[in-house]
Amino acid sequence: MKDNGISDKIKGNVNKAKGEIKDQIGNATDNKSLQAEGKLDKAKGHLQETAGKLKDGK
């Protein structure tokens, strides 16, 4: 069974949400390392979501 990119889009959204949380907590606590980790997770999420859309042909 082919998932047509759905799993990539889901993983991407999870990583974007996780990254946003880390970024905001890092910002609130002045933790630059956690902020950077959050930004990296968000970027990874955007790439995964884009890969899923490409698999779907959208």
Residue range 6-28, pLDDT digits in tens: 999 999 999 999 999 999 999 99
pTM, to two decimals: 0.85
Domain boundaries, position 13: 6-56
Is 1 among the domain residues? no
Which of 56 and 54 is assigned the larger pLDDT?
Answer: 54
Q: What is the pLDDT of residue 57?
A: 80
Domain count, the chain: 1
Helix (H) or strand (E) holding 3: none
Distances (CA, A) of 34 to 1, 29, 53, 57: 38, 9, 29, 34
pLDDT at 4 > cutoff 60: yes
Is 34 among the domain residues? yes
Q: Residue written as tokens 């910002």? A: 27
- Residue 57 sits at the vertex; the CA angle it makes with 42 and 49, to the nearest 5 degrees, is 10
Is 21 among the domain residues? yes
Is 13 among the domain residues? yes
